[in-house]
Amino acid sequence: MTIKTEQKLKIHQKILFGIGDLAGCLSNTIIGFFYLFYLTDVVGLRPAYAGAAILLGRIWDAITDPLIGNISDRTNSRWGRRRVFLLFGSIPLGLTFFLLWTVSKNWTQFEMFIYTTITYIIHMTALTSVMVPYQTLTAEMTNDYDERTSLTAYRMLFSILGGLVGVIVPKLIVDGYSSDIKGFLIMGIVFGISVGLAPLFPFLGGRERGKPIKSSFSVKKDIKTIWENKPFRFILLMFLMTWTAINLLEAMFMYFFKYWLKLDNQFEIIVGLIFIVAAIFIPFWVKVSKHQGKRRAYILGIGFFGICIIGITFIQPGMLVTTFIMASLIGIGVSAAHVIPHSIIPDSIDYGQVQTGEQREGMYYGVLTFLQKVGTASAIGISGMVLDYVGYIPDTVQSSQVLWTIRILLGPIPGIFLLIGIICIYFYPIDRNMFQEMILEMETSKGEA
């Protein structure tokens, strides 16, 4: 029997879908690189309060992920069950991003903490309402093993390019004003508009093959369904470890360059180099995935990434050439971290469809991002508290204890997370042959229905 896979996507569909990731990558990159620094060094919020605000916001955000995923699974509208969220979520997303950068340094510590927590929660809720349905489109738009990698590659190309813009341009905007407060405010306006427009592109170019499910919402049933999906359990932990490492790396990068390497004036150039190399190597990892399989590609790419980020912590101040070389190597690993994990997720979700007969992409992506955000929130929130505990003081020469803490949080800790991710993917059972068998079984079930 011939295994039926859907017609390959057109290039313009992949491009429009890929542009949509700018909503999440611009927001997450700018927040990841600059928000903790903005709160502690610009408006003067104590690191412990800043870390706690981000932690609370992320936990709330994580709770809403499964909820939005389940709602989108059951949504029935003229625009489909996923794309309708992209249409109506765009304006709230852009507006709430702007509000993040409106903290007044004239407020008390408590007032800043409350305002930061509330605005962060609101923005994360808006981001979830857009990004969870958007992510499910990877599984909705095609059921072809390699086409999903190609679609993910287009998405990650825009994600990396957006990350490049999100790292370089905000600092350029801020540096263009004598007041950092005003600079960050203008930056919030510029990128609030950009973040708000991005979801409209996949709304126009996306397609959906799934139909709304009719079963009632049940947390107990969802937990049981996920737990019985063994491949997805491995993917959950792998994805959690990968992006916790990346988010912790992002949060510490500014501190590492400013206080250890004393290269804050080279920050945009070095980080820009990382993203440029990452974008260039996307086709490389697509080919590795196609020829070696997704599992082996992940082990190779993330293993290399882990070695590089641990290695960068050994660079000493003044080693500019070495810093640029290591940044280039890190870019190769960043490319793998963007492409491979996201291309694996839909395959494990299809395994669940084979088990249950239901298309529950929203539930799976909701739970996935729930655990991811809890993990990353804990890592970033705790890192802020750790900096406060070891005596971090903004805009001054740091003690050796603080410098060692920054280096450890930048390299060895993320390296451990990546190692756990590699162990998880080693036991992941779905390869190309098993995937083809799953597609055959799903097609057979449809024919019998």
Torsion angle in degrees (nearest 10) through CA of 379, 384, 388, 390: 40
Is residue 46's pLDDT more than 50?
yes
Quote the distance between the C-alpha of residue 49 and its chain's center.
24
> What integer best gives the mean pLDDT of the chain?
86
Q: Which helix (H) or strand (E) holds 255?
A: helix 230-255
User: Within a 10 A sphere around the Cβ of 447, how many other Cβ atoms?
Assistant: 9
SS3 7: coil
Which of the residue ranges 221-235, 270-284, 297-311 would you say has the lowest mean pLDDT?
221-235
Q: pLDDT tens for residues 68-108?
A: 887 888 888 888 888 899 999 999 999 999 999 999 999 99
386 close to 64: Cβ distance less than 8 angstroms:
no
Q: pLDDT tens for residues 217-257?
A: 666 677 777 778 888 889 888 988 998 898 888 778 888 98
Instruction: Tell me the percentage of the chain whose pLDDT exceeds 70.
Output: 92
pLDDT at position 47: 87
Show contacts of 285-289: CB within 8 Å, 24+ apart.
Answer: 285/153, 285/335, 285/336, 285/339, 285/340, 286/149, 286/150, 286/153, 286/339, 289/149, 289/339, 289/340, 289/343
Instruction: Tell me the percentage of the chain whose pLDDT exceeds 90.
Output: 40
pLDDT at position 212: 64
> What are the structural domain ranges in the chain?
12-206+217-448
Is residue 420's pLDDT more than 70?
yes
Determine the average pLDDT of the residues in 25-37.
88
Determine the average pLDDT of the residues in 283-290.
90
User: Within a 10 A sphere around the Cβ of 434, how many other Cβ atoms?
Assistant: 12
Q: Both tokens of residue 98?
A: 């702007």
Q: What is the DSSP letter of 33?
A: I
What is the C-alpha to C-alpha distance for residues 312 and 334, in angstroms, rounded to an integer?
A: 14
pLDDT at position 377: 67
pLDDT at position 216: 65
CA atoms within 13 A on the CB side of 174: 20
Q: Which CATH class is domain 12-206+217-448?
A: mainly alpha
Is residue 115's pLDDT more than 80?
yes
- Considering only CA atoms, which of 381, 442, 390 is closest in space to residue 116? 381
- Residue 20 — pLDDT band, cuts 50, 70, 90? very high
What is the C-alpha to C-alpha distance for residues 235 and 241, in angstroms, rounded to an integer?
A: 10
Q: pLDDT tens for residues 118-167?
A: 999 999 999 999 998 998 888 788 777 778 788 888 888 898 888 889 88
74 close to 218: Cβ distance less than 8 angstroms:
no
160 close to 229: Cβ distance less than 8 angstroms:
no
With a CB cutoff of 8 Å and minimum separation 6, the contacts of 261 are 315, 317, 323
pLDDT at position 279: 87
Q: pLDDT tens for residues 170-218?
A: 989 999 998 999 999 999 999 999 999 999 999 988 777 666 666 666 6
Q: pLDDT tens for residues 144-156?
A: 777 878 888 888 8
Determine the average pLDDT of the residues in 388-393.
90
User: Within a 10 A sphere around the Cβ of 374, how many other Cβ atoms?
Assistant: 19
Which of the residue ranges 40-44, 240-244, 254-258, 432-436 would you say has the lowest mean pLDDT?
432-436
Q: Both tokens of residue 185?
A: 């405010």
Q: pLDDT tens for residues 363-390?
A: 787 777 777 777 766 777 778 888 889 9
Q: pLDDT tens for residues 357-368?
A: 776 777 787 777
Q: Is the whole-model pTM more than 0.85?
A: no
